[in-house]
């Protein structure tokens, strides 16, 4: 696994992009930057074992290199299922296809995976028993988020599950400042320099736009989800599950 040293070289004066340089170090970047990331993947596998139904489809929207796709695939116990993994970054989908091909060759899993290069706003979601948005919604324009949530809920079968993992804001300004500082301390403990942290923050400004948990809950309710719960929180990162009635 290549080490993330992107912002040792890049000044952070251009918007963050999911390009070849990021794809090459993405696993290391996620592990060192997102508290609780490994736990979110582990839960996706467990939830897939419980919620994926025979003859349905699963979606990994914003699949990047396919970590959540593999977690779903390894957890699925149902028959005649298919996973559709979608990302709009060519560098990500190219490497994701390689990751899936390696898994095919080594493990011969029964659940096929289609990796699609495209905009998740354009992908038809149908006959789905599980949809994953793992740190994806935060990169969409805020005005597009309600429509995507409605499309996801409409495309799920009854009892279908959405897993949404996001960076969030806290409603309490004092606590938001504390969680912000704790997250940056987390990155420093994972050997990112203060310069790297500052440069990446600048590059993500207006690219990653977080919201509060309350806003996510409201959006899910309006879209048609009935049962909603935060199952994991680590500093200012959460994972939420929502079930369609």
3-state secondary structure 66-96: CHHHHHHHHHCCCCCCEEEEEECCHHHHHHH
Domain ranges in the chain are: 21-178+209-243
Q: pLDDT, tens digit, for every residue of 217-241?
A: 999 999 999 999 999 999 999 999 9
Q: Please report the pLDDT score of residue 13 as a whole number.
A: 84
CA dihedral 29, 32, 213, 201 (to 10 degrees): -60
Cα(79)–Cα(56) distance, integer angstroms: 9
Residues 61 and 133: their CA atoms lie apart, in Å, by: 5
Give the pLDDT confidence of 153-167 residue by residue, as tens digits: 999 999 999 999 999
**Per-residue pLDDT band at 28 (split at 50, 70, 90):** very high
CATH, domain 21-178+209-243, list 3.40.630.30, 3.40.50.150, 1.10.10.10, 3.40.50.300:
3.40.50.150
pLDDT in tens, 119-139: 999 999 999 999 999 999 999
Phi, then psi, of 38 in degrees rounded to 5: -60, -40
φ/ψ (deg, to 5) at 204: -90, -10
Q: DSSP character for 57? A: E
Distance between CA atoms of residues 217 and 115, nearest Å = 29
Q: Is the pLDDT of residue 1 over 90?
A: no
User: What pLDDT, on a 0 to 100 scale, did the predictor assign at position 65?
Assistant: 98
Q: What is the pLDDT of residue 11?
A: 85
């Amino acid at each position: 696994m290549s080490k993330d040293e992107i912002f040792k070289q890049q000044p952070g004066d251009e918007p963050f992009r999911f390009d070849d340089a990021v794809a090459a170090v993405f696993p290391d970047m996620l592990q060192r930057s997102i508290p609780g990331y490994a736990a979110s993947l582990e839960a996706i596998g467990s939830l897939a074992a419980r919620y994926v139904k025979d003859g349905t489809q699963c979606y990994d929207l914003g699949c990047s290199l396919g970590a959540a796709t593999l977690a779903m695939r390894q957890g699925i116990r149902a028959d005649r299922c298919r996973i559709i993994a979608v990302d709009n970054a060519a560098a990500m989908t190219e490497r994701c296809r390689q990751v899936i091909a390696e898994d095919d060759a080594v493990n011969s899993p029964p659940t096929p995976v289609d990796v699609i290069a495209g905009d998740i706003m354009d992908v038809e979601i149908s006959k789905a028993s599980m949809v994953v948005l793992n740190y994806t919604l935060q990169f969409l324009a805020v005005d597009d988020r309600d429509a995507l949530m409605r499309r996801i809920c409409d495309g799920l079968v009854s009892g279908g599950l959405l897993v949404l993992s996001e960076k969030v804001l806290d409603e309490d300004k004092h606590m938001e400042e504390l969680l912000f500082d704790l997250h940056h301390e987390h990155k420093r403990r994972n050997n990112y320099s203060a310069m790297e942290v500052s440069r990446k923050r600048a590059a993500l400004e207006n690219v990653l736009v977080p919201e509060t948990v309350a806003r996510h809950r409201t959006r899910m309710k309006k879209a048609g989800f009935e049962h909603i719960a935060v199952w994991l929180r680590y500093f200012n990162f959460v994972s939420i599950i929502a079930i369609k009635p």
